[in-house]
Amino acid sequence: MLPPSERDFVSVTLGESGSYTNGKQWRRQSCWRKWKQLSRLQRSLILFTLMLLLVCGIVTSPTLMAHWRDGTLGDNTDDGKQPFVLDLKNEYKFILPEPPSGKKGFRRRGPPVLQSRSQSKTNASEGGKPVVSWREAVIDQGQVSDTDIKEAEIQEITLESRLEAVREAFRHAWKGYKDFAWGHDELKPISKSYGEWFGLGLTLIDALDTMWILGLKDEFAEAREWVATELSFDKNVDVNLFESTIRILGGLLSTYHLTGDSVFLEKAKDIGSRLMPAFNTASKIPYSDVNIGKGTAHSPQWTSDSTVAEVTSVQLEFRELSRLTGDPKYKLAVMDVMNQVHKLDGKNDGLVPMFINTNSGQFTHQGIYTLGARADSYYEYLLKQWIQGGKKENDLLEDYLQAMEGVKKNLLRKSNPLGLTFVGELSHGHLSPKMDHLVCFLPGTLALGAHHGLPADHMELAKELIETCYQMYVQMETGLSPEIAHFNMHEGSKQDVEVKIADRHNLLRPETVESLFYLYRFTKDKKYQLWGWEILQNFNKYTRVSTGGYTSINNVRDPAYPNPRDKMESFFLGETLKYFYLLFSEDPDLISLDKYVFNTEAHPLPVWPEAE
Ligand code: DMJ
């Protein structure tokens, strides 16, 4: 006896030959009838075989499995590209050094879960459509090739195309500046306006020698015209001694050296002499601020202290101004500062506090030692003055070598899980595992010292530290470093770099690219170029504004909304893009490191000839 359902079916099929005119329906009914005629055992066997075939099919499909492992099923590319997770596995196969023992799993780019997020974003951009819309402005992802660096692609990126990518980035930044901020200090690319700091065309002056080095002749000619006809320092305005020295005086001096054009020297002399009142203090430690129109100077309103890094990082520029003008007053003023700091008590194994008093000439707020903000370029300028002056000024060398020993003894630690060497901060005897992005100047400076004959272990430390700085980018979801990183030191940490909410911004700073440049020049290890290339792509992906310019961002941990700050710092053109270009260049004579020293704003100044 058949069950009711099968009875019904049989009764329907009995009359089918005459009543069904639709062939598909007929075939369906016919199959179903044959299926029903099979025994239970036969049906089970067929079902089992089908299931087996299905499972085998899934297991042997790499694409599907990769998606499942990555948790991104359904998030595939529409252009048939392999999923990101597979690319990532292959892409660094030949690039990376073998991880040292205990450093398994060196990570290239953000955590997997985040990689898949950024991948879906990349996919959207591949259709040529803008992906991130910030207020009216749009982050422009269409003009630059995909961020993903695959081994095969890397090989195809020619030297010239990398250099051209930097030129293109510069032109894009310059377009924004020209359209919305011409002659002003800084571009605000999102609001298509400008910001003033000193009101002296800061970005334009900072960018002059970059344009010259990149070979952007038309842009340079326009800017030169503005300097010659519009730039005036006869203004009732307070400027910061350090910032205007490194950006304006430094920028004008280096452009004079590169071009031989006396317009730049005359302007350099003008601003240099207008800054001199800052040194008229009881202690000869300069004030932080000068009114370049009135010729008066003062400390900030709330203190009579100056910042140690600021008062000790104007020397390269004023020493050069003395050499060019034949007037020793500039050099004497800045060397007074160095001589006093050389003799001061309060250093810790050569490490200096962050503040110095303009009345007493003594360090204040003692007990905190950092290679980051407020102390950083003190160390950089010790070495670079020694190189600039022909390696004769022994006090400078002595202070530098002692300080580097102090760094090794007091500030270096290893992170977990990767064992990255980082430079922490010492606060009243307690080591804080905090490292500013600013500290990433240090690998480059250490490498420069080693190149100039200082101990070889400086180069080894430089290599370790640049890996750390690179990881500060890699371990972020956008592939861009935060302003400040905290390193995990305890066993079992999942990730080396932690970031506090207040430290998640990126200001387009140059220090890591700067150090990559030095490391590449001296080692010729291609990985440094590749790391730089990756960083450039990420700047293009997350900070480029479609209407022109690049913007600082507030959150390097959120690729979906990096949150623009609406500001392009002048050092992005003065330093970051210049160092990218020099990093990708294979020409050791393009600003030879035996003939030039870069000031702390990336403006090259000549090493003095033997006789001087
Ligand atoms: C620049 O003005 C200089 O490099 C300075 O030494 C530190 N801060 C910025 C870049 O980060």
Q: Could you give the residue numbers annotated as active site?
A: 243, 376, 483, 511
Which residues, in sequence order, are CB contacts of 380 under 8 Å at separation 6+? Answer: 313, 441, 445, 600
Share of the chain above pLDDT 90, in %: 73
pLDDT digits (tens, 9 = 90+) for 122-176: 333 333 333 332 323 444 543 334 445 555 455 567 888 999 999 999 999 999 9
What is the pTM assigned to this prediction? 0.79
Could you count the other beta carbons within 10 Å of the beta carbon of residue 580? 29
Best probe residue, ligand 1, of 438, 513, 579 (max atoms within 8 Å of C-beta): 438
pLDDT at position 58: 56
Q: What is the pLDDT of residues 22-53, one digit of tens each?
A: 334 444 555 566 666 677 777 777 787 787 77
Q: What is the pLDDT of residue 7?
A: 32
- The set of residues, in sequence order, having a beta carbon less than 8 Å from that of 208 and lying 6+ positions away, is 220, 223, 224, 227, 251, 252, 255, 264
Work out whether the CA dihedral 414, 415, 421, 424 comes out positive or negative: negative
Q: Which atom of ligand 1 is nearest to the CA of 509?
A: 11
Rounded Cα–Cα distance for residues 209 and 511 (Å): 18
DSSP 588-606: TTTT-TTTEEE-TTS-EEE
Nearest residue by C-alpha to atom 2 in ligand 1:
601
Residue 31: what pLDDT? 55
Q: Which residues line ligand 1 (CB under 6 A)?
A: 377, 438, 509-510, 571, 575, 600-601
pLDDT recorded at residue 35 = 64
C-alpha distances in Å from residue 594, one per residue of 392, 530, 583, 598: 15, 25, 16, 11
Q: Whose CA is nearest to atom 6 of ligand 1?
A: 600
Q: Tell whether the model's pLDDT for residue 181 goes beyond 60.
A: yes
| 529 alpha carbon, distance to own chain's centre | 13
Pick the residue whose CA is nearest to atom 8 on ligand 1.
438
Residue 149 CA to ligand 1 center (angstroms) comes to 29
Vertex 193: Cα angle to 192 and 198 (nearest 5): 150
Query: How far apart are the C-alpha atoms of 333 and 275, rounded to whole Å?
Result: 11
The encoded tokens of residue 524 equal 């010729």
Asked whether the bond before 353 is cis by omega within 30 degrees of 0, the reply is: no
Q: Please state, rounded to an integer, the average pLDDT across all residues of the chain.
A: 83
**82 alpha carbon to ligand 1 midpoint, in Å?**
40
pLDDT of residue 53: 78
How far is Cα 245 from Cα 253, in angstroms, rounded to an integer?
Answer: 10
589-599: per-residue pLDDT in tens? 999 999 999 99
Residue among 570, 573, 601, 603 to mutate when testing ligand 1 (max atoms within 8 A of CB): 601
- For atom 11 of ligand 1, which residue has the closest CA? 509
pLDDT in tens, 393-429: 999 999 999 999 999 999 999 999 999 999 999 999 9
Q: Picking from 109-118, 234-243, 259-268, 287-296, which range would have the lowest pLDDT averaged per residue?
A: 109-118
Nearest by Cα to 382 from 414, 338, 435, 433: 338
Whether pLDDT at 432 is above 80: yes
Percent of the chain exceeding pLDDT 70 equals: 77
462 vs 131, more confident: 462
Q: Is the model's pLDDT at 112 over the cut of 50?
A: no
Per-residue confidence (pLDDT) for residue 13, from 0 to 100: 28
Between the CA of 484 and the centroid of ligand 1 the distance, in Å, is 14
Q: What are phi and psi of 502, to 5 degrees?
A: -70, -10
Cα(260) to centroid(ligand 1), Å? 26
pLDDT at 89: 26
Dist. CA 512–CA 479, nearest whole Å: 13
Q: Closest ligand 1 atom, CA of 309?
A: 6
